[in-house]
Amino acid sequence: MSHPEHVIDIFLQPGEFYFGDRGTRIRTLLGSCVAITMWHPMLRVGGMCHYMLPVRGGKPDGTLDGRYADEAMAMFQREIRGVGTRPEDYQVKVFGGGNMFSKQRHCELQQPCGNVACRNVQAARLLLDSHGHKVMAEHVGEHGHRNVVFDVWNGDVWMRHVKNGVLLEKAKEIEQDKCPNR
């Protein structure tokens, strides 16, 4: 599908969430934070979250806060129910969790760790699995930051990974077999 005539261009700041229709492009910039994209190919609706931490410390005040993985996932589930669909109907992709300190050792994402980036990625995997989502692609971990652009009209996700000021990867559709750490 070609570019829609009128596009709403949304830029997510840390802690923000957006779910829209086929006239939407969603962008974000990630360091240790994680972005999850979900896209329904039949309805051409989908969204992205940009969370900062796995869970909120202390007691929540009753409103969902997109800064936390578990609450961002609850926002997705609310939208999925709202359009009358099921979690397994969505194409899901995960990005981010980059170590922003080049001198700090890169953690192994399959092991428990104290690094917030690593914990963010682990939270995404656990939450998505527990809600019945299947991740079709991810680009997570390592060092550096990522720019992510999600075109809701066709489900394409574009990502750039920059490490120590060097562009490492520019790709349309990060395929699972090309993604590290999976």
Rounded to whole angstroms, the Cα distance separating 103 from 143 reads 10
Catalytic residue list = 33
- CA torsion angle for 119, 122, 124, 128 (degrees, to 10)? -150
Helix axes 69-82, 116-130, angle to 10 degrees: 30
pLDDT band with cut points at 50, 70 and 90 for residue 55: very high
pLDDT digits (tens, 9 = 90+) for 128-165: 999 999 999 999 998 889 999 999 999 999 999 988 76
Q: What CATH class does 8-178 carry?
A: alpha beta
pLDDT digits (tens, 9 = 90+) for 39-52: 999 999 999 999 99
Q: What pLDDT score does 102 carry?
A: 59
73 vs 179, residue with greater confidence: 73
pLDDT digits (tens, 9 = 90+) for 87-107: 999 999 999 999 887 555 555
Nearest to 140, CA basis, from 99, 102, 92, 90: 99
Q: Determine the number of helices (DSSP H) and then strands (DSSP E) in the chain.
A: 2, 10
- The full set of domain ranges for the chain reads 8-178
Average pLDDT, the chain: 87
24: β partners: 8
Predicted TM-score (pTM) of the model is 0.87
